[in-house]
Amino acid sequence: MNKIWLIIKREYLTRVRNRTFILSTILLPLFFIGFIFASAYFSISSTEKQKVAVSDSNGIFKNSFQSSDLISYQYPSDVTADNFKEKGYSAFLKIPENYNLAGDSISLISTKQLGMEAEDKIKDQINDAIRNQAFLKNNIDKKILDSINKMNEDQSYKFRTVIKQGNKTEQSNSGLSYGIGYGSGILIYMTLFIYGAAVMRGVMEEKMNRIAEVIISSVRPFQLMMGKILGIAAVGITQLLIWIVLIVLLSSVATSFFSADALQHAQAINTGIGAAGNSTAAMNFLNAKSTFLSANWALIIPCFLFYFLAGYLFYASLFAAVGSVVNEDPQEAQSLMLPITMPILLSFIIMTTAVGKPDAPISVWGSVIPFSSPIVMMARIPSGNVPVWQLLVSMLSLIAGFILTTMLAAKIYRTGILLYGKKVTFKEMGKWLFRR
C-alpha cells in the first residue's frame, strides 16, 4: 500500500509540475469565460444604427415601419438603388410600384450584410405591415385591429413549464437541461479520451524505457498499473476542480460588471427613456443567469464527479492494457485502441439522443449499462426525471464494471509489459486472460 502511494505521488507530481498542464489548466477557463462574455458583450453594445431608405411610391407602408434604436426608416423621394450609399443610407428597401401583396417581392439592397438582428427586425416589420394591410383589405375594422395588436404588445404572453413530483413543484427549463446534459456528456467523453490516452502513453513510455522491468522487480505489476491510473485520476480531478473554481470566480466577477450595466438599462425602461434594444439583451442575460442557477447543481456536480471518476476507471485500465502490449510502432496502438474507442464513440452517439429524449428506452439502457453509462447518464440527469433506482443501478453496475475491467486488464498488462518486440494479437490477449 505504501508503495502504490509512492507511485501515485510520482505520477501526480511529474504531471502537475509540467508546464503544459499548468498552462492548459489556467488558460482553458479564461478562454471559455472570455469567449462567452465577449459574445454577450458584443451582442449588447455593438448596435450601430442602420439608416434604411424606403422607396414606397404607392404609400402602402407609410407609417407601418417604426424606427427603433437599431434601425431608422426614412422615406426620401430622391434615393434610388444606385445612389443610396452616397446619400448616407446603409440600405435601400425597394417596394415595387403597384405592389399587390401576394406575388411581388420586396427587396432589401445593401452594400454589406446588415447583421442578422437588423434583417430579422426589418422582415418582422414587413410581415406585420403586410398582415395589417391584408386585414384591412378584407374589411376588418381598423379599431378592432389596433386593439388586437395593442393587446398583443401589452401582455406578451407568458409560458412556463412546471415539473410536479408528489407535492413538490419546480420550474423546469428543458433548454437548460439540454445544454447542461450535452455539455457534461461531451466533457466526460473528452476527458475519457484525454486521461485514458495519458495512461496509455505513460504505460508505453515505461515499457519502451525498460523501466517497467526495474520497477516490477520492486512492486507487483498491479501496483504499478493502479498507481499510474490513480495518479492520473488525481491529476484529472485537480484539473476539473481548478476549472470549476476558476469558472465560478471569473463568471461572478464578469456578471457583477454586467449586472450593473443591466440594472441601468432596467431603470431606463422604468423611467420610459429609450434604449429598449440594449436593455432586452441585458435582461436576457440576467434571465439566463438566474435560470442557469436554477438547475439542480447539488445533484449534477456530485454525479458529474462520480461518473467522471468511475467512467475513467472503467476505461483507464483498458488503455493501460493496450499500452502494455504496444511495441515501438504507434500505428499498432491505433488499431489496438479500436475496441476501446468504439464503445466510447457509441456512447457519445447514444448521448446525443438521450439529451433530447431522456426517457427513451435507448437512453435508459445506455445510462445503466456500464460501458456507456458515464456519458449517457450525465446527459439524462439534468432533466431531473431519472428515478433513484436507475441512478443506483447505473452507479453500482459501473463500479462492478470497473472492478471487472481492471482485473482483466491487469492480466494482459502483467504479461504485455515485459514482452518486447513481438506483435500481440487479440487471440493471444484472450489466452492471457485465463492464465493464472
Partner 1 sequence: MAILELQNLKKYYATHKAVDDISFSIPEGSIFGLLGPNGAGKTTLLRMITGIFYPDSGEILFEGKKFNPVDDIPKIGYMPEERGLYKKMKIGEQALYLAMLKGMNRSDAMKKIKEWFVKFEMESWWNKKVNDLSKGMGQKLQFVTTVLHDPKLLILDEPFSGLDPVNSNLIKDEIFKLAQKGTTIIFSTHRMEQVEEICDKIVLVNNGKKILDGSVKQVKDDFKEHIFKVGFDELPASFSSAAFDIVDSHEKSFNVKIKDGNRPADVLQEFLNYNAAIVSFNEVLPSLNEIFIKVAGRKES
Edge-to-edge strands of the sheet including 50-55? 71-74, 50-55, 91-94, 107-110
Contact residues for 328 (Cβ-Cβ < 8 A; gap 6+): 208
Question: The cell 515485459 sits on which residue?
Answer: 418
Query: Helix, strand, coil: what percent of the chain each, to 5?
Result: 70, 5, 25
- Residues 377 and 181: their CA atoms lie apart, in Å, by 9
Query: How many binding residues for partner 1 (CB under 8 A)?
Result: 22
**Which stretch, 60-68, 118-126, 216-224, 359-367, contacts partner 1 (CB under 8 A)?**
216-224
CB of 421 to partner 1, least distance (A): 11
Burial status of residue 16 (CB atoms within 10 A of its CB: 0-12, 13-18, 19 or more): middle
Which CB sits closer to partner 1, 6 or 241? 6
Task: Determine, following the binding rule CB under 8 A, whether residue 127 of this chain makes contact with partner 1.
Answer: no
Q: Cell for 46?
A: 455593438
Nearby residues of 337 by Cβ (< 8 Å), 6 or more positions away: 200, 319, 322
Work out whether 423 is an interface residue with partner 1 (CB under 8 A).
no
3 state DSSP class of 165: strand
Exactly one of 141, 146, 213, 328 binds partner 1 (CB under 8 A); that residue is 213
Among 79, 212, 368, 375, binds partner 1 (CB under 8 A): 212
Return the number of the residue (313 or 424) whose C-beta is nearest partner 1: 424
Among residues 278 and 415, whose Cβ is nearest to partner 1? 415
Q: For residue 287, what is the enclosing H or E element?
A: helix 276-294
CB of 98 within 8 A of CB of 57? no
CA dist 71 and 55 (Å) reads 16
Rounded Cα gap, residues 402 and 314, in angstroms: 4
Q: Is residue 365 a contact partner of residue 178, using CB atoms and an 8 Å limit?
A: no
Binder among 214, 241, 260, 301 for partner 1 (CB under 8 A): 214
Identify the three-state secondary structure at position 296: coil
Q: CB-wise, 329 or 359, nearer to partner 1? A: 329
- State the nearest-atom distance from the C-beta of 375 to partner 1, in Å: 33
Record the cell numbers describing residue 358, joined without a space: 431522456
In the numeric block, the cell 501515485 is attached to 8
List of residues 6+ apart from 384 with CB closer than 8 A = 163, 170, 172, 177, 296
Binder of partner 1 out of 420, 423, 426, 433 (CB under 8 A): 420
Q: How far is the CB of 319 from partner 1 (least distance, A)?
A: 20
Residue among 161, 165, 217, 270 that touches partner 1 (CB under 8 A): 217
CA distance 134 to 99: 12
| Closest distance of CB 431 from partner 1, Å | 8
Q: Measured from the CB of residue 221, what is the shortest distance to partner 1 in angstroms?
A: 8
Interface residue with partner 1, options 49, 62, 131, 210 (CB under 8 A): 210
**Among 3-11, 44-52, 175-183, 249-257, which window interacts with partner 1 (CB under 8 A)?**
3-11
**Near partner 1 by CB under 8 A: residue from 197, 254, 349, 418:** 418
Q: Which of 16, 60, 145, 216 touches partner 1 by CB under 8 A?
A: 216
Instruction: Find the binder of partner 1 among 16, 130, 219, 360 (CB under 8 A).
Output: 219
CB of 25 to partner 1, least distance (A): 19
Q: Which is nearer to partner 1, 49 or 220 (CB)?
A: 220
Restricted to residues 187-206, the positions that interact with partner 1 (CB under 8 A) are 206
Interaction pattern, residues 5-34, with partner 1; x per rule: CB under 8 A? -xx--x---x--------------------
Tell me the closest approach of the beta carbon of residue 211 to partner 1, in angstroms.
4
Closest separation between CB of residue 216 and partner 1, Å? 5
Contacts 24+ apart (CB under 8 A), 39-45: 40/258, 40/285, 41/258, 43/281, 44/261, 44/278, 44/281, 44/282, 44/285, 45/278
209 part of the interface to partner 1, by CB under 8 A: yes
Closest CB to partner 1 among residues 230, 344:
230
> Where along the sequence are the contacts to partner 1 (CB under 8 A)?
3, 6-7, 10, 14, 206, 209-220, 418, 420, 431, 436
